[in-house]
Structure 1
């Protein structure tokens, strides 16, 4: 059973029959370090399940790059507004390391309801989980201290701190690299 199948079965309750139809719509894709999954200003044409590696989601704000998220194993990655609403992406998504993905093209994604009767219900669960995740991230940025945000991120995925440049992690949790360094020294 692939990681994608484990995720779908565990979080979405997909039957064996639906699982076969769903998984067969995905194909393996590899991005090398530095490759782009999506560039801002373009409409996203795919949704991927992150199997291995790290991908940075960021925007350029004036002269500054702001890291929105570092995607890692076990996450879906896409631009929802692009794949669902055909709107250009606000963020760029770039591989920080070699990434292995299971990918479904937008056309296939939008046609899943023809092959899986329960797809509208399953898609709602998937999108609800994405929004729940975003709400948690927003709440943490608004309500937690810098030390609490650092501890939360470290608890979620400690290996990020061994692999990802600190300036990206600092940006992602809403602080300067200097502030993150001070917090790390305290811990």
Structure 2
């Protein structure tokens, strides 16, 4: 049986009133170990599994004509699925790569759909997950448009210091929309 304690804790913390069918749903997840530098999600594909990061570091990015741009990092136990692609069967525009060895719990779409039909907890989970994603995207967009890179970096220091410890600086620079050299200057000014 896979180690599902972090997944169970995640549901208890984030969805405490949503208990019907949770034990059965959690038990249906399978544990997978993924090596470093493996692509987990590739643009142009459809998300076919519900994935929960148990352990490790992932970067999420877009690929433009001339460069990759990091849009998010995952370092804490949480769902890493592109929910829009997973639920609607649409192709994703996102890419995800493991930056370390990962421990991921996965649940296939067909199994999830069957559990969703059986238990009402799945519907409220999906609604709550979409609401959190929208809130996160709105805040991210607002910050990137209204705040200079130095202030964004200071926010990372305060709110996501784990990123600064686990993620290479050139990936952080891409996330902030600056060159690695500019990030180096920002770090010198702040320290």
TM-score by length of 1: 0.91
> Does residue 182 of structure 1 match 2:181?
no
Q: Partner of 1:125 in structure 2?
A: 128
Q: Partner of 1:154 in structure 2?
A: 157
CA distance in 2: counterparts of 1:86 and 1:123, whole angstroms: 14
Q: Partner of 1:8 in structure 2?
A: 11
CA distance in 2: counterparts of 1:75 and 1:155, whole angstroms: 20
Q: Give a deviation string over 1:133-187, Cα, whole Å, max 9, x none.
A: 2222111112222122111122222132233221111111222222211110112
Match of 1:90 among 89, 93, 113: 93
Matches within 5 A, 1:61-140: 61-140=64-143
Residues 22 and 116 in structure 1, CA contact (< 8 A), matched pair in contact too: no
CA distance in 1: counterparts of 2:18 and 2:135, whole angstroms: 24
* Larger displacement relative to structure 2 (153-162 or 86-95): 153-162
CA distance in 2: counterparts of 1:110 and 1:131, whole angstroms: 23
Residues 41 and 95 in structure 2, CA contact (< 8 A), matched pair in contact too: yes
Gaps of 5+ in 2: none
* Larger displacement relative to structure 2 (111-120 or 55-64): 111-120
State the aligned residue count: 187
Flag as ranges the 4+ runs of structure 1 deviating above 6 A. Answer: none
CA distance in 2: counterparts of 1:21 and 1:68, whole angstroms: 33
CA distance in 2: counterparts of 1:166 and 1:66, whole angstroms: 13
CA distance in 2: counterparts of 1:51 and 1:172, whole angstroms: 23
SS in structure 1 opposite 2:155?
helix
SS in structure 1 opposite 2:36?
coil
Gaps of 5+ in 1: none
TM-score by length of 2: 0.89
> Does residue 35 of structure 1 match 2:38?
yes
**RMSD between superposed Cα atoms in Å:** 1.8
